[in-house]
């Protein structure tokens, strides 16, 4: 049986990286609710486990030098966030994994367009669109491994 919290972690990493890539190099605010969905606090004002897990993913990404941010806005968001140099470079490089769908689509494109389509960021976007937990896991692990070797 899959560990749901690990699947959510891969999903959150994918969403955070694609969101920051879309605004790179501008600094931006990343709201937890934009990644994890709406949250309802309990009677004590505490966030749900899902919300806290997503917030913890943001902190984990910073600790492991994939993103940088200046400050936390309570447990609601991180402010002045951007990709680190190593994660930006890894997202822009050729993906080491390909799906059958990607391979078929690439054979119909000119070489310069095909090369852009097989970058890690585009494979990550495709995995998010597919909603496949396995595809998200594969590409996120691939990206994390590459970022680790860039340090």
Name the residue ranges covered by the structural domains of the chain. Answer: 4-150
DSSP state letter for 46: P
pLDDT for the residue 128? 93
pLDDT by 10-residue block (mean), the chain, 151 residues:
83 97 96 94 90 96 96 95 95 70 57 67 91 90 84 60
- Which token pair is 33? 């609710």
pLDDT for the residue 117? 62
Q: Using an 8 Å Cβ cutoff, are 125 and 143 in contact?
A: no
CA separation (Å) from 47 to 36, 57, 61, 111? 12, 15, 20, 48
> Within 10 Å of residue 118's Cβ, how many Cβ atoms?
19
Q: Which residues neighbour 139 within 8 Å (Cβ) at sequence distance 6 or greater?
A: 14, 95, 97, 120, 123, 124, 127
> What is the four-CA torsion angle of 145, 103, 94, 68, rounded to 10 degrees?
-60
* Alpha carbon distance 115, 136 (integer Å): 21
pLDDT for the residue 119? 87
Model pTM score: 0.85
pLDDT for the residue 35? 96
pLDDT for the residue 148? 79
């Amino acid at each position: 049986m899959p560990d749901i919290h690990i699947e959510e972690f891969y999903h959150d990493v994918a969403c955070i990286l694609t969101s920051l890539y879309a605004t790179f190099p501008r600094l931006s605010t990343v709201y937890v609710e934009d990644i994890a969905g709406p949250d309802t606090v309990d009677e004590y004002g505490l966030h749900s486990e899902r919300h806290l897990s997503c917030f913890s993913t943001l902190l984990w990404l910073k600790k492991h030098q994939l993103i940088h941010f200046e400050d936390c806005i309570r447990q609601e968001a991180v402010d002045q966030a951007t990709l680190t140099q190593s994660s930006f470079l890894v997202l822009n490089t050729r993906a080491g994994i390909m799906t059958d769908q990607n391979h078929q689509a690439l054979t119909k494109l000119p070489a310069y367009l095909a090369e852009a389509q097989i970058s890690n960021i585009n494979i990550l976007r495709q995995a998010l669109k597919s909603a496949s937990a396995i595809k998200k896991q594969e590409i996120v692990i691939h990206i994390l491994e590459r970022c680790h070797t860039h340090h």
